[in-house]
Every structure is written in structure tokens, then in C-alpha cells.
Amino acid sequence: PNAPILVSFPDADALVVSLSAFLVKAQKDSIDKKGRFTIALSGGSLPKMLRGLIGNPAVKWNKWQVFYVDERVVSLDHPDSNHRACMEHLFSKVSIPEGNIHHIDTSLLDDLEELSDAYEKDLIREFAQKDSARFPVFDVILLGMGPDGHTASLFPGHELLLEEDRWVAYVNDSPKPPPKRITFTYPVINHAARIVFVAAGKEKATTLRSVLDVPEEGLPSARVKPVYPGQLYWFVDDAAAANVAYP
């Protein structure tokens, strides 16, 4: 496999500019090749970090198919909803067809199994035959990392770290509220063509050191390992990278 590529920026604004240039290039390569661009987004501070795309005429929004790496099991207008955060910070400010944004089916909020199955079916509809494979191959998956090293809704010590078959799974015991979530599994994350972590701030410094310098400690973020020829990138700020010796 290819080694992770670490890029560090003096501040969030510089990171935002570079991340949006990266996404515009990835989008162009994907659309040139197959006429569409598939991307999965995370919550946390990530939606705000996509602000560099707003007003950028190079972005072909109608070719984007957007999924969420993980989602809290709440209504779409709930303050905890990742979809809501992405709508607020990005999609309400650009013109993307509503049908290109794949959010959870909120008629199924009371049944986690059905909810995650339905989201998996949505993925299958988008990917089966087109990029047909055992797992979907996203053009880009964007991830954040919690201070405990979790990514998506894959938490330290959780049994889902071992999931090998499902595309989408649910959690009803997240250590960080809200407890109920659905999440992509590692096989889906790891099959993406480009996996991009975005991590900023000094609260991330110790965790980032573990993930990049001592991956054998096995934090959830360190278990993100693209299946060849996928490439893993870390877009971080200097504060987060302060303790890291890598590369």
C-alpha cells in the first residue's frame, strides 16, 4: 500500500484553501473518467472546512453524489444532525440538486437495523454495477478524528472495528452523545480512491502522534488503511502536527 501523505498548514484558512483545491482536482479527474463524482462527508468541524468550495465556478455540483460517512439517528433538522451541518455550512449556499444528497430515511428513526439497511441499499443503488465490486469505491471520503482517536462512528474498543461484511452498521452505545448512530464500516472507508482526514487544533496533537507514529497502538483512526491503489491523506494544521515525527 501507499504510505499516507501528510500535509500541514499554518492555520485553518490555509488548510481550507488547499482542501478545496484538492477536491476540485479529484472532482475533475472523476468526472473526466466516468461523468460523476462520489464523495462521503463527516460531521464535526468538517462541514465548515468545505467553505472554500462555495462560489467556486469549477465545482460541478450536479455531478456530485454525496453520502454521509456517519450520521446521528435524529431528524434532519436536529442540531446533532451531520446532514443539517452540511446543509447549513455548504449545500444551502451552492446549487446542488436535492436528489444528489443522500441522507438517512427519517421514517426509520425508531429501527436502527432498518435505518442502516436502508442507507446501505441507497449505497448499493449508487454503486452496484457502476463501480461494481464487493464494496463501493468512493472517489473521496472525508473524515474527522476525535480526541479519543475515533473516526466516523467507529469508537475505541467497539466490536464494529472488526466488521468485515456490512457496508453500513449501527451503533446504539456511542460513548459520545448522541448514542444512536449509523456509520460506514472500515471496508467501505478503506476501498475509497482517496481518503482524506482533516484534523486541526492542539487537542489533536497527542492522538495524531499515536495514529501516524505509533499506528500499532490501533486507535480507530490508525485502522484506516486504503486498499491499494487508494491513497490516504492527512490535511492538518501545525498545532495538530506539533508532536508528529512522521514521515
Binding stretches for ligand 6PG (CB under 6 A): 42-46, 144-146, 176
Outline where DSSP puts E strands in the chain. Answer: 5-9, 37-41, 64-68, 70-72, 140-143, 168-171, 181-184, 194-199, 231-237
> From CA 69, how far away is CA 85, in angstroms rounded?
13
Task: Specify the DSSP class assigned to residue 244.
Answer: -
Which H or E run includes 200? Answer: none
**Concatenated DSSP letters for 56-108?**
-TT--GGGEEEEESEEESS-TTSTT-HHHHHHHHTGGGS---GGGB----GGG
Min. distance of Cβ 215 from ligand 6PG in angstroms?
19
Which grid coordinates are listed for 225?
488503511
Name the residue whose CB lies closest to ligand 6PG: 44
Min. distance of Cβ 230 from ligand 6PG in angstroms?
21
Min. distance of Cβ 42 from ligand 6PG in angstroms?
6
- Of 42 and 190, nearer to ligand 6PG (C-beta) is 42
> From CA 200, how far away is CA 15, in angstroms rounded?
9
Min. distance of Cβ 182 from ligand 6PG in angstroms?
11
Min. distance of Cβ 217 from ligand 6PG in angstroms?
18
Rg (CA), the chain: 17
> From CA 146, how far away is CA 42, in angstroms rounded?
12
Min. distance of Cβ 246 from ligand 6PG in angstroms?
20
- Of 17 and 133, nearer to ligand 6PG (C-beta) is 17
